[in-house]
Structure 1
């Protein structure tokens, strides 16, 4: 990401902790999705700090919601409870 792209008015960057509060996935899953190009890419702010563009993350969440609502999309199944012993 270039310096001019980072200086876009209204751009909000979120750090790892904020991302994990917004997206209920573990860090490993997010990293795997990023590597496959299925999640917004992090970028380095400093040598020890990475961030994500909040607009890109929100767009990804909206895509997931849209995909889940399509006819034929797999639906979450209720957990079956085994009888207590």
Structure 2
């Protein structure tokens, strides 16, 4: 659902920028679907575009 690496999601969580994970077992985690959907909607409505590697414009 979220095309980000596990490490990126972990880093976002640590900074409080992604919903917290729920430990299902010692090796499996999940996220609350409504929280993830809300996170997606907030990203869509913010108008902030992530920088894409290699797409820099120099003056």
TM-score (normalizing by structure 1): 0.54
User: Higher relative contact order by CA 8 Å / sep ≥ 6: 1 or 2?
Assistant: 1
TM-score (normalizing by structure 2): 0.75
Q: May I ask how many residue pairs the two structures share in their alignment?
A: 54
Q: CA RMSD in A?
A: 2.2
Structure 2 regions of 5+ residues with no counterpart? none
Runs of 4+ in 1 over 2 A off after TM superposition: 73-77
Structure 1 or 2, whichever has the larger Rg, is 1
Structure 1 regions of 5+ residues with no counterpart? 1-21, 81-85
